[in-house]
């Protein structure tokens, strides 16, 4: 992988709102990379060059995240999926392989559910929406009044002092290294009021104090004809690897790759292996061609 396509930052206006995104590559099939909650397209930076050699790689900042706009509005999975569809259409792409991490995995599954004709393949990375369990940090954010506590978590000492951040996230089992870095950056972003408001709306759309409240488990059978790759960090303390194992069992023909030494961010822990696995999957599968009749048959037979 010596030849790499440098990622560049671009901006588009979708429905009057600014959407910042990173893009690498100029030709080939489209790979759409969707980040997790409190994250941004920056999380994909280490792999975009390798992926962009023979693909067009697009990684947006979802609304409410990163450098994209943070309007008052709908932060449900369906709204995110529609926003991703509209960005792809604006950029001139009819379909893509959808790669989603954590919250982005839920968005990716919702995209495949809402727009099967636009989904060539599905890649779930430590994905939400596959089981009830989720780390106490996110469950706490769903509690009434959490919006008043979050400014304390995003205060300057936590943003600037690595030791303080380490103590805060270490108590809930998150790993040092990539997990710590990503969580620190995410909590730092919550110092901004509009970002914090979007975060609370997003969390409460998918999580309650008991865990994840949105699940795709009862509809995974609809993806039987969709090439699917599931990637998980064995040491994930945010969402357990058992969710990935059970999802693979519920989706015959899907592929599961477990990164034994990774936590919640396998694409950051071992970017070279992650890129190799993703490219091998894309090159070894044909894009799905799902029509309305096949969906109706799946719904009839369950």
Active-site residue flag, 280: no
Active-site residue flag, 264: yes
Q: Label each residue of the chain as H, E or C.
A: CCCCCCCEEEEEEECCEEEEEEEECCCCCEEEEECCCCCCHHHHHHHHHHHCCCCEEEEECCCCCCCCCCCCCCCCHHHHHHHHHHHHHHCCCCCEEEEEECHHHHHHHHHHHHCHHHEEEEEEECCCCCCCCCCHHHHHHCCCCHHHHHHHHCCHHHHHCHHHHHHHHHCCCCCCCHHHHHHHHHHHHCCCHHHHHHHHHHHHHHEECCEECCCCHHHHHHHCCCCEEEEEECCCCCCCHHHHHHHHHHCCCCEEEEECCCCCCHHHHCHHHHHHHHHHHHHCCCCCCCCHHHHHHHHHHC
Exactly one of 41, 82, 95, 102 is catalytic; name it.
102
Q: What is the C-alpha to C-alpha distance for residues 153 and 195, in angstroms, rounded to an integer?
A: 14
Active-site residue flag, 102: yes
Exactly one of 126, 179, 236, 270 is catalytic; name it.
236
Phi, psi of 244 (to 5 degrees): -65, -40
Exactly one of 264, 267, 269, 270 is catalytic; name it.
264
Q: Which residues are catalytic?
A: 102, 236, 264
């Amino acid at each position: 992988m010596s030849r790499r396509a440098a990622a560049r930052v671009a901006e588009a206006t979708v429905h009057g709102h600014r959407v910042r995104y990173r893009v690498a590559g100029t030709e080939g099939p489209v790979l759409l990379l969707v980040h997790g909650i409190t994250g941004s397209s920056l999380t994909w930076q280490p792999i975009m060059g390798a992926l962009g050699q023979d693909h067009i790689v697009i990684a947006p900042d979802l609304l409410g995240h990163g450098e994209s706009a943070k309007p008052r509005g709908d932060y449900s999975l369906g709204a995110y999926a529609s926003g991703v569809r509209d960005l792809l259409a604006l950029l001139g792409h009819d379909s893509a392989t959808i790669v989603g991490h954590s919250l982005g995995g839920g968005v990716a599954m919702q995209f495949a559910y809402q727009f099967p004709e636009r989904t060539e393949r599905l890649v779930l990375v430590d994905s939400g929406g596959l089981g009830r369990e989720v780390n106490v940090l996110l469950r706490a954010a769903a509690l009434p009044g959490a919006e008043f506590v979050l400014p304390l978590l995003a205060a300057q000492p936590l943003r600037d002092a690595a030791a303080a951040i380490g103590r805060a996230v270490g108590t809930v089992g998150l790993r040092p290294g990539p997990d710590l870095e990503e969580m620190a950056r995410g909590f730092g972003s919550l110092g901004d009021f509009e970002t914090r408001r979007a975060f609370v709306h997003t969390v409460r759309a998918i999580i309650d104090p008991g865990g994840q409240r949105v699940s795709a488990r009862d509809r995974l059978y609809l993806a039987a004809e969709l090439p699917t790759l599931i990637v998980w960090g064995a040491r994930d303390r945010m969402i357990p690897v058992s969710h990935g194992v059970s999802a693979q069992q519920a989706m015959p023909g899907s592929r599961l790759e477990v990164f034994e030494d990774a936590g919640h961010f396998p694409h950051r822990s071992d970017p070279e292996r992650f890129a190799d696995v993703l490219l091998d999957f894309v090159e070894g599968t044909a894009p799905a061609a799902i029509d309305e009749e096949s969906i109706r048959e799946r719904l009839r037979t369950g």
